[in-house]
Amino acid sequence: MIPIELVTDTAKDLMRKAAIEIPQDYHEGLKRAANSEDGDLASFVLQAMLDNYEAAKEDGCAMCGDTGVPRWFVKLGNEAQVEGGMVALEAALRRATGEATHSVPLRPNRVHPLWRTDHNNNVGIGAPEIEYGFEPTGDWIDLITVHKGGLFGTDYRMLFPSDGIPGIKRFYLDSLLAFGKRGLACQPAIIGVGLGGSKDISMTLGKRASVLRTVGSRNPDPKIAELENEMKDLGNAIGMGAMGFVGKNMVIDCNIEVGYCHTGGLPMSVHAFCLSSRRAVARIWPDGRVEHRTDPDWFTPYQRRETIDWDTVREGQK
């Protein structure tokens, strides 16, 4: 049984870490970008961002004043049990979100869409979002918090099979150009592309591709992995860098996730995880161990399974 107090305390730690510390994989990616950048203004911006990561860490203060909209991804091993059950888990994550908003402090970004009511704690109707995944074995839970910005850089389009890969590339370029100008997307970013699913799942896949996969990871389908490389290079060939200034670093990495869709369609979404790619991950074990890591490791073979039963696949691999 995983103690609920440990869930709350770990969640508060994660909220702080996500706001203050740039994940190592993105940090390395941005350093490479800064080294290769030759646009005068774009270079200045990238160096300022690298300085800003140091300042945030030294001062224990959020990297960016817009601390995004905190949300949670929870992964449970099949045997995991949380003290008080799943309702207690959700209350713990909401409590940690509210308390960390005050203690870090974070910006209380969450308001009612119509009445603009702000509880000053990033908690409200449907906020923070809590989404779940499961793994076939294990008695641990993974807590992943992501504080993504919310206004620009994301778009959705219903494409069709006849649009094909060229249509996918076109909509990708459209999204980067539309939101890259003036740096609205806060690039260079981890671009997540969702292909397939239904409309909403296409958005979910793309969002998760940007926030739950690390820089340098590749889709296990070799042809999709090749497309990820091509689209990364394509984004960086626009000639646009940080803040929309002339430059060659728009995309730190491009991650693609797919899901089966209606036979007639090819829904697509594009998401940009920004210069303050706020994510933090920890695994909690029933014996009280807490292991922090950078990689959410969300997209396991189980999450991408194609068959009815998982056991069948495992048996086949033996």
Partner 1 sequence: MKPREIRLSTTPTADALAELRLGDIVYLDGLIYTAREGVYTYALEEKANIPLELPSQSAANFHCSPAARINADGSFDMGAVTATASFRFAKWLPEWMAKTGAKLIIGKGGMSSKDYRSYFVPNGAIYLSTVGYGTGALLGRGIEKVEAVHWNERLGLAQAMWVIRCNRMGPFIVASDLAGNCLFERENAKIAQNIARLYEGSEPAVLKRYGESDDRSEEVI
* Binding site residues, partner 1, CB under 8 A: 19, 40-41, 44-45, 48-49, 51-53, 55-56, 59, 61-67, 102, 104-109, 111, 116-118, 120, 151-152, 157-160, 162-163, 166-167, 169-171, 173-174, 177-179, 181-184, 186, 237-240, 242-246, 274-276
As given in the structure block, the two tokens for residue 75 are 């992964």
| Alpha helices, H only, the chain | 4-20, 24-36, 40-59, 85-103, 164-180, 199-211, 222-236, 310-317
- State which residue, 59 or 287, has the beta carbon closest to partner 1: 59
- State which residue, 1 or 55, has the beta carbon closest to partner 1: 55
Put the strands of the sheet holding 155-159 in their side by side order: 155-159, 266-273, 189-196, 251-259
Tell the smallest beta-carbon distance from residue 5 to partner 1 (Å). Answer: 24
Tell the smallest beta-carbon distance from residue 257 to partner 1 (Å). Answer: 21
Largest Cα span, the chain: 57
- State which residue, 80 or 146, has the beta carbon closest to partner 1: 146
Phi, psi torsion values for 251, nearest 5 degrees? -125, 115
Q: Name the residue with tokens 């918090």.
A: 145
Tell the smallest beta-carbon distance from residue 129 to partner 1 (Å). Answer: 19
Tell the smallest beta-carbon distance from residue 230 to partner 1 (Å). Answer: 13
Q: Helix (H, G, I), strand (E, B), or coil: what is residue 1?
A: coil
Give 242's DSSP letter: G
Strand pairing partners for 158? Answer: 267
Tell the smallest beta-carbon distance from residue 173 to partner 1 (Å). Answer: 6
- State which residue, 57 or 314, has the beta carbon closest to partner 1: 57
- State which residue, 109 or 303, has the beta carbon closest to partner 1: 109
- State which residue, 217 or 276, has the beta carbon closest to partner 1: 276
Tell the smallest beta-carbon distance from residue 295 to partner 1 (Å). Answer: 25
Tell the smallest beta-carbon distance from residue 171 to partner 1 (Å). Answer: 7
Taking 3-state DSSP, the helix, strand and coil percentages for the chain, each rounded to the nearest 5, stand at 40, 20, 40
As given in the structure block, the two tokens for residue 189 are 């970013």
- State which residue, 88 or 177, has the beta carbon closest to partner 1: 177
Calpha distance 12→1 (Å, rounded): 20
Cα torsion for 243, 247, 252, 257, to the nearest 10°? Answer: 90
